[in-house]
Amino acid sequence: MSPTEFEYLTHLIGKRISKKDTTFRKVISVQESLALTLRLLASGDSYVSLYHSFLSPLHSAHTATKAAQKELTHRTVV
């Protein structure tokens, strides 16, 4: 995927999946969420593997990828 295509997808789903940091947790950025999701879909890796690749907490990675997958499915046409 080219950087231009990645930025297009980020723009397409960004507002719908972005969240704000709280005092208890730091959120995963839209770009990282999209990268995690694309990696998960392309490779079929587990969340544990994603954790080791991106060093994102498992729960955060799971939540972020589910939201991004939902928006990608809703917003894109194959």
Residue-wise pLDDT for 32-72, tens only, equals 889 888 888 888 877 777 767 776 666 677 787 888 888 88
Segment 10-16 shows an average pLDDT of 89
Alpha helices in the chain (DSSP H): 3-17, 30-43, 47-54, 58-75
Question: For the whole model, what pTM was predicted?
Answer: 0.72
Q: 62 with 50: CB under 8 angstroms? A: no
Per-residue confidence (pLDDT) for residue 4, from 0 to 100:
95
- Cβ(40)–Cβ(65) below 8 Å: yes
